[in-house]
Amino acid sequence: MEGFFTLFISAILINNIVLTKFLGMCPIMGVSRKTSSALGMGAAVVFVIFGASVFTYGLYYSVLKPLSLEYMDLITFILVIAAFVQFVEMVMKKFTPALYKALGIFLPLITTNCVVLYVTLVNITNGYSFMEMVVYSIAVPVGFTLVLYIFSTIRERLDNAPVPEAFKGNPIALIVMAIMAAIFTAFAGLV
């Protein structure tokens, strides 16, 4: 139980995917201008990463490994993630219009989010058990959402701040991201 807790806290704060690996920078920069969009994107990422991880984990151990096709994991996971996003979008359109209205706009973006592929691959390469995979697949997108939300609140304030002309837009955003990465290193001794 302690191992799961360590894995969970570590994936959210200490080894935050955005601030330590610099993955998922595209949606971080693109969808962080408004807090509402950031939360919507975060919720969609949590949902898709968890679903894609469970699906790819099952596919790897029930199909790829028995058939000795482990070398095809990368192409398999890319196709599975793309198909999963299409499937989720279709189900949302059909059965949960309210959820589609809230998250649907972010779903096409998630297909190009490298965090999804990273999590599915790490679940296999690190040899996680099913429960470890579940914990890790929830913790990583939660950490992603945390950073995205904090970053969006800062960017909203930056819109009204007297930023020098040369630093407006992406330059100041990247500086803020660098400072955030430095601050998050303070969590290193937490667990």
Partner 1 sequence: MEAILYIAALGGFYALVYYLNHKTPKPEGCEYIDAACQSCSVGICSNHPSQNIKKEDMIHVERS
- What residues between 30 and 59 interact with partner 1 by CB under 8 A? 30-31, 33-34, 37
- State in angstroms the smallest separation of the CB of 55 from partner 1: 12
Binding flag, residue 1, partner 1 (CB under 8 A): no
With beta carbons less than 8 A apart as the criterion, state whether 5 and 136 touch. no
Which residue in the set 27, 42, 51, 143 belongs to the binding site for partner 1 (CB under 8 A)?
27
- What residues between 120 and 159 interact with partner 1 by CB under 8 A? none
- State in angstroms the smallest separation of the CB of 92 from partner 1: 9
- With vertex at residue 20, the alpha carbon angle to CA 29 and CA 50, rounded to the nearest 5 degrees, is 75
Residues 73 and 87: their CA atoms lie apart, in Å, by 20
Q: Using CB under 8 A as the criterion, which residues of the chain lie in contact with partner 1 when the complex forms?
A: 26-27, 29-31, 33-34, 37, 63, 67, 69, 72, 75-76, 79-80, 82-83, 86-87, 89-90, 93-94, 97, 100-101, 104-105, 108-109, 112
